[in-house]
């Protein structure tokens, strides 16, 4: 690898007219690089994304635009990897904002520790009450399960990394991104890099701002799809992956079983101790989960509106993800490799 500080930034993009310019500015504002390029892999957007991308590319010759037919995120990454001209490739989310020293810090870290992929922390940051609640959940172990790239931690080897600063040759050597996966493709790629003998490294100095979804409906859709594809990956690997991924589907099963017991009790009209026990057992998952959600609301420096939004956001995230994961575990998941926000 050359001693020069150079990088190919890669950004898959679909329907991102609200965030694209901010994300691109965070790339063009990088300091400490000798040379760079930005490749925008454009999917089939239905808003003004393509127009904005064309304007950005016209204003900066180091920005390239390529078409990504079908809008598959893994396909878009692979197309951009083929186009990239620098040995270090940096994935950028169109919902993310890189700090100015991100690229230089990542390259120095990669060289110091001999990693094939370096990533940092996704620091979700919202503007509206719903966005702030989603951001809090992203940044808390109670929201997404405590992965180091969400909650932070000490530098060291990791199972995966947010975004990723890759050794391009190492990624190509393991076959690039799996284009049959719509989500979880980054975790799958890192798994294969580690199995090939590479090191995936978490560097806390790399903290990237992420703009979360702004409505309950969008959060539910996002998390259901993420859970569905996580279940697909677990099914393919016959149970491989961290245990935390099984917590949401277990919650869904417990709540469904509890509701079933209560309905059975009401339908049969059981009297006495038997009916009381069935009702108590059936309600217990709801009581326990409700108490846990309530305990989450008492912590953190949150304003009242954001705290109230969390009452909807946390169950939406957990149950949407859990139900999706159950479907992925039970049934083969197919479909367009669509984009998503993390």
Question: pLDDT confidence of 335, banded at 50, 70, 90?
Answer: low
Mean pLDDT of 4-32: 94
Report for 78-87, 154-163, 202-211, 269-278: range of highest mean pLDDT? 78-87
* Summary mean pLDDT of the chain: 90
Flag whether pLDDT at 213 surpasses 90: no
pLDDT confidence of residue 193: 97
Residue 230 φ then ψ, to 5°: -65, -40
Greatest Cα-to-Cα distance within the chain, rounded to the nearest angstrom = 79
Flag whether pLDDT at 252 surpasses 50: yes
Which residues are within 8 A (CB) of 129 and not within 5 positions of it... i.e. 6 or more apart?
A: 303, 305, 306, 308, 309
pLDDT confidence of residue 324: 95
CATH class of 6-126+147-212: alpha beta
Mean pLDDT of 167-185: 93
Q: How far apart are CA 295 and CA 312, in angstroms?
A: 14
Which residues are within 8 A (CB) of 56 and not within 5 positions of it... i.e. 6 or more apart?
A: 20, 21, 24, 40, 63
Where along the chain do its domains lie?
A: 6-126+147-212
Q: Which of 52-56, 78-82, 159-163, 318-322 has the lowest mean pLDDT?
A: 159-163
Higher pLDDT, 300 or 260: 260
Flag whether pLDDT at 115 surpasses 90: yes
Threshold 0.75, pTM exceeds = yes
């Amino acid at each position: 690898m050359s001693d020069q500080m150079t990088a190919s930034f890669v950004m898959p993009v679909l329907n991102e007219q609200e965030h694209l310019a901010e994300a691109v500015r965070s790339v063009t504002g990088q300091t400490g690089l000798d040379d760079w390029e930005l490749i925008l892999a454009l999917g089939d957007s239905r808003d003004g994304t393509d127009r904005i991308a064309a304007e950005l590319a016209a204003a900066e010759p180091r920005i390239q635009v390529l078409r990504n037919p079908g809008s598959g995120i893994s396909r878009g990454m692979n197309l951009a990897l083929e186009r990239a001209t620098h040995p270090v490739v940096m994935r950028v989310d169109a919902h993310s904002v890189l700090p100015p020293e991100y690229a230089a810090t990542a390259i120095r870290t990669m060289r110091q520790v001999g990693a094939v992929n370096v990533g940092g922390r996704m620091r979700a940051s919202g503007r509206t009450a719903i966005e702030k609640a989603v951001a809090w959940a992203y940044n808390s172990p109670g929201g997404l399960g405590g992965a180091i790239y969400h909650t932070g931690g000490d530098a060291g080897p990791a199972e995966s990394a947010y975004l990723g600063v890759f050794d391009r040759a190492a990624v190509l050597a393991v076959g690039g991104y799996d284009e049959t996966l719509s989500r979880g493709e980054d975790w799958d790629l890192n798994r294969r890099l580690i199995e090939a003998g590479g090191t995936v490294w978490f560097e806390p100095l790399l903290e990237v701002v992420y703009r979360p979804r702004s409505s309950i409906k969008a959060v539910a859709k996002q998390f259901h799809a993420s859970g569905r594809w996580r279940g697909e990956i677990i099914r393919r690997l016959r149970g491989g992956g961290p245990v935390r991924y099984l917590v949401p589907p277990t919650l869904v099963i417990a709540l469904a079983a509890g509701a079933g017991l209560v309905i059975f009790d009401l339908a049969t009209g059981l009297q006495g101790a038997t009916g009381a026990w069935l009702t108590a057992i059936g309600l217990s998952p709801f009581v326990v989960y409700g108490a846990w959600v309530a305990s989450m609301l008492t912590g953190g420096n949150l304003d009242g509106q954001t705290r109230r939004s969390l009452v909807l956001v946390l169950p939406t995230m957990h149950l949407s993800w859990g139900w999706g994961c159950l479907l992925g575990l039970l049934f083969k998941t197919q479909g367009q490799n669509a984009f998503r926000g993390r």
